[in-house]
A = this chain, B = another copy of it.
Amino acid sequence: MKTISPKTIDRALLYIRALENLLKKKRDKISSSELADITGSSDVQVRKDISFFGKVGIPRIGYETKKLKDVLENFILQDNIVHIALFGVGNLGKAILKYPGFQTDKIKLVAAFDKAKNKVLKEVNGVKIYPVEQSVRLIKKVHAEIGIIAVPSENSQEVADIMVNSGLKGIVNFAPNRVSVPKNVYVKDIDFSIEIFSIFSHTQL
């Protein structure tokens, strides 16, 4: 039994969203090359990725939009809804709370936490902000799976520790430093400054 590669998963997520958009536009068929254009890939890559999930395409026609979306979603997301807990309701945290992309039928931001007393117990975009002291209990109660770190880097490790104790299995870390977690917890760092430098270096080549 072959295992799916992480790169294939990430591209499949792009395919899924592209397919959703196509469905909204009532496009019921799509070819590998058009899907490649939309998602910034190549037709071969698209077919190769999809082949992992079985034979879903129709030669000479392409893929049925709905069917392909269902096949990909079934494997990658099943009917799971991803529940998110946010730590830090400052500049970035507030923007995240207001982000409609985190309140869809597939993703729900279920709780926010802040250390500052004056931010606590307010509600932003339907999400209540709780004091950090209640976080472990509340996260377990709402069964969140993913945590977002949007606190200053000085506090990122303490937040990561709380997340681990709460049973979160995945973390997005926006603070510009790494946090230590047990190796069964997956951390993805998103570092704006490093991204800028990386792009800049790219343009210098």
Residue positions of A touching B, CB distance < 8 A: 3, 6, 9-10, 13-14, 17, 21, 38-40, 76-77, 80, 82, 84, 91-92, 94-96, 98-99, 101-102, 104, 106-107, 145-146, 169-172, 176-178, 186, 188-190, 192-203, 205
Contacts and interface: CB of A to CB of B under 8 A. Distances in A.
16 contacts: A17-B176, A17-B193, A21-B177, A80-B200, A82-B196, A82-B197, A91-B95, A91-B98, A91-B99, A99-B192, A146-B203, A170-B199, A172-B195, A172-B196, A186-B202, A186-B203
A201 B171 CA distance: 12
Contacts of A178: 38-40
Nearest to A4: B205
A149 to B, nearest CB: 12
Nearest to A184: B203
Given A91-B95, A178-B39, A203-B169, A193 B102 contact: yes
Q: How many copies does the complex hold?
A: 2
B172 A10 contact: no
Given A76-B201, A91-B95, A172-B199, A101 B193 contact: yes
Residue from A98, A188, A197 whose CB has the most chain B CB atoms within 10 Å: A197
Contact of A96 (B104, B146, B192): B192
Given A9-B202, A107-B193, 6 more contacts: A13-B197, A39-B178, A77-B200, A95-B95, A107-B197, A172-B192
A196 B107 contact: yes
Given A91-B95, A95-B95, A169-B203, A198 B188 contact: yes
B146 A196 contact: yes
Nearest to A193: B101
B194 A17 contact: yes
Contacts of A94: 91, 95
Contacts of A17: 176, 193-194
A195 to B, nearest CB: 6
